[in-house]
A and B are shown apart, each in its own frame.
Chain A
Amino acid sequence: MASGATLISFDKVWKSYGQGEAKVHALAGVDLAIRRGEFVAIMGPSGSGKSTAMNIIGCLDTPTAGTYNFMGIDAGRLDRNRRAMLRNLYVGFVFQGYNLLPRTTAVENVELPLIYRGVGARDRHDLAMKALAEVGLVGREHHTPAELSGGQQQRVAIARAIVTRPTLLVADEPTGNLDTARTHEIMELLTRLNTELGLTIAMVTHEADVAGYAERTIRFLDGHVASDGMNFEVA
Chain B
Amino acid sequence: MIWETVRLSLLSVRRNVLRSFLTLLGIVIGVAAVIAMLTIGSGTTEKVKSDIAKLGSNLLVVRSGRPAGPGGPGGLDQVVRPLAEKDVAALVAHLTGASAISPASQKQVRVIFGTESLTSGITGTDSAYLDARDWKLVSGRPFSDSETRSGTGVCLIGETVRQQFFGAGDPEGEIIRVNRTSCKIIGLLEPKGYTGFGQDQDNVVLMPLHAYQRRIAGNRDVDNIYVAADDRTPTTELQPRVEDILRDTRRITPDREDDFSIRDMTQIADAMASATTTMTGMLGAVAGVSLLVGGIGIMNIMLVSVTERTREIGIRLAIGAHEKHILIQFLVEATVLSLLGGIIGILIGLALAGLASVTLTIPFAPSPAVILLAVGFSALIGMVFGFFPALRGARLDPIDALRHE
A interface, CB within 8 angstroms of B: 55, 58, 60-61, 80-81, 84-85, 87-89, 92-93, 95, 99-104, 112-113, 115-118, 121, 160, 164
Contacts and interface: CB of A to CB of B under 8 A. Distances in A.
A84 B311 contact: no
B311 A99 contact: yes
11 contacts: A55-B399, A58-B318, A60-B398, A81-B324, A84-B322, A85-B322, A88-B320, A99-B315, A113-B320, A116-B322, A160-B319
B312 interface: yes
B390 to A, nearest CB: 16
A116 B315 contact: no
A118 to B, nearest CB: 7
Contact of A93 (B4, B311, B319): B319
Nearest to B15: A103
- Most A Cβ at <10 Å: residue of B4, B312, B318, B399: B318
Contact of B319 (A55, A61, A112, A121): A112
B399 A87 contact: no
Interface in B353-405: 398-399, 402
A215 B398 CA distance: 29
Contacts of A112: 315-316, 319
Contacts of A103: 15
B323 interface: yes
Given A81-B323, A101-B312, A87 B318 contact: yes
Given A60-B318, A60-B399, 5 more contacts: A80-B323, A104-B15, A113-B320, A116-B321, A160-B319
Contacts of A164: 320
Interface of B: 1, 4, 8, 11, 15, 311-312, 314-325, 398-399, 402
Contacts of A99: 311, 314-315, 318, 402
Given A115-B4, A116-B325, A89 B15 contact: no
Closest 7 CB pairs of A and B: A88-B320, A113-B319, A103-B15, A116-B320, A87-B320, A81-B322, A99-B315
A47 B315 CA distance: 23
Contact of A61 (B1, B322, B399): B399
Contacts of A95: 402
Contacts of A84: 317, 320-323
A96 B326 CA distance: 24
B109 to A, nearest CB: 78
Contacts of B317: 84
A230 B278 CA distance: 85
A103 B4 CA distance: 18
B91 to A, nearest CB: 80
A145 to B, nearest CB: 12
Contact of A101 (B1, B315, B402): B315
Contacts of B4: 115, 121
B78 to A, nearest CB: 83
A116 B319 contact: yes
A115 B325 CA distance: 10
Contacts of A55: 399
Contacts of B315: 99-101, 112
Contacts of A89: 320
Contacts of B321: 84, 88, 116
